Chain A
């Protein structure tokens, strides 16, 4: 009897240590990666780096202004495309759960989530870049918006599912039409979840490189025409990192640092938004 309890106690200790150990083993390298990027990147950051265009090989200095502008435009347009579609599909899935269309949509969303980004890039290249005849920022935005969709759809659906039916009934019983009930009661009640889905979606696509290789392509100059090729942070990192020049490597580290900073900021904002707009039922 006594011995049995002793053995159980040991088992307890072993399991607890095991869980902590594995957590540390996984977290530590993650933190080291972040630390390393910060260390390498922060030295590259300067006013010149933020406000100038890249210089040709051989000249010192130069910056990534074109990529910053490009990323902002490409991501912004991707979000503009993805949000209305994503939220609508999420509403449909939560409202008409049992329909065949909902079943197939949910399945496609799950599959879409698992499609490698490079495959999405190729598909958009065939569908849009080929038909339009040139690389363009718009095609890049479309590729990225496809990658954002699952996160927006899922979070919208899950959030709305948690909203009690009694709320919808309260609105309908006041003689409010169905569409107004959805727009004015249900969506506002779920705003925190939907927003966090959108922001996590943006965080996910901000660093995507592969789909942009075939679509936005990159551009050494500042371009704001979305029908023309455009630079972006991940492309800059990719191009500079595979170059043989130390100075360009430096620029790549700086760009990587900015990108990580942006994603960190988005994640923090998501947490804040969830807190601020959380609705108590």
Chain B
């Protein structure tokens, strides 16, 4: 039986007066890839930004209900600690422009003031870049600026940077929407490898992508979780009419 790593209970979120998430109940099993899919403005990005408590960084926002990470209520945890367990990759690649590729990978440690010995750093960098399938492409230029890489490489660098922190969960917010098809394919392949060691929560409005990479799919619409099931089930036999309409391209 798979264990649940993340679970939300009647979770709602607001931007000012505007409720963007309505009583979301969802359980994410460990070592799965869960795709969060839905049309623009359905709250999918807000949902994963709540999981690592980035939502509250925007002014005038609040939440109700709660989310559990294993047994812990994340709203009772220190967000700084929480974010070390739950890594995030953003829509646009955002390597630190002042740092080299090498420094970018270990940025989570250096920025936090942790002092690592050189061999530890080297190992961490190599290991993380290998996991992000970037090592072979950059191993001879680790000391060039991260922004020098192509968009797809930058995104994998950002994944390596998140993985270096040894998180349990990786949140990906439309990680391929700014990339070309070849880079996208590479990242999707990579996601598949990563699920052995991590739980992945990926936001996408690309249905094919959800179908290709995920084990389970959650369909969000206007802030509500309409349907959540095994990906195969959602795509072949959707229970809800809205899901069906979305999948067949009748709206969204």
Contacts and interface: CB of A to CB of B under 8 A. Distances in A.
For A172, A174, A177, A189, the residue with the greatest tally of chain B CB atoms inside 10 Å of its CB is A174
Interface string A137-174: 00000000000000000000000000010110111111
Nearest to B108: A174
A173 B54 contact: yes
B83 A189 contact: no
B98 A188 contact: yes
A204 interface: no
Interface size class of A (residues with CB under 8 A): 20 to 34
Nearest to B82: A175
B236 interface: no
B83 A180 contact: no
B96 A167 contact: yes
B96 A173 contact: no
Interface residues of B, number: 30
B127 to A, nearest CB: 17
A164 B83 contact: no
Contacts of B97: 167, 189, 279-281
B113 A180 contact: yes
Nearest to B96: A185
Interface stretch (B84-92, B181-189, B214-222): B84-92
A169 B94 contact: yes
16 contacts: A98-B59, A169-B90, A171-B107, A172-B83, A173-B88, A175-B81, A175-B82, A175-B108, A175-B165, A176-B112, A180-B113, A181-B111, A184-B111, A185-B96, A279-B98, A281-B147
Interface of B: 52, 54, 57, 59, 80-84, 87-88, 90, 92, 94-98, 107-108, 110-113, 145, 147, 158, 161-162, 165
Interface of A: 98, 164, 166-167, 169-177, 180-181, 184-185, 188-189, 279-281
